[in-house]
Amino acid sequence: MFAVALKDLKSLRLAGVFEYLAGHFTEETANAYLVKGRHANDLPEMQTFAAYDEGRFAYWRFVFVLFF
């Protein structure tokens, strides 16, 4: 069963800052790396870091601001 799961991820590709670390981009601003590889339906707080043919992996960026 594990092999079946890995077969689905065969098309996995890293996105965002990982593309910069791989040397694909040289002159970009810090904010540009945050939007590389985004999907059209990503919420502003979502950061896609890997994608494959059937979906993507993302983490949720949450900034807690406390006002006094």
Express each pLDDT in 51-68 by its tens digit: 888 888 888 877 777 776
**pLDDT attached to residue 12:** 85
Express each pLDDT in 15-42 by its tens digit: 877 877 777 766 666 667 667 777 778 8
**pLDDT attached to residue 5:** 67
What is the rounded distance in angstroms from the CA atom of residue 66 to the CA atom of residue 51? Answer: 34
Q: Which residue has the tokens 């092999």?
A: 3
**pLDDT attached to residue 36:** 72
What's the half-sphere exposure (Cβ side, CA atoms, 13 Å) at 16? 17
Extents of the domains making up the chain: 2-60
CB distance 34 to 16 below 8 Å: yes
Question: Which residue from 51, 40, 45, 19 is spatially nearest to 59, judged by alpha carbons?
Answer: 45
Category of 55 on φ-ψ map: left (φ > 0), alpha (ψ -120 to 50) or beta: left
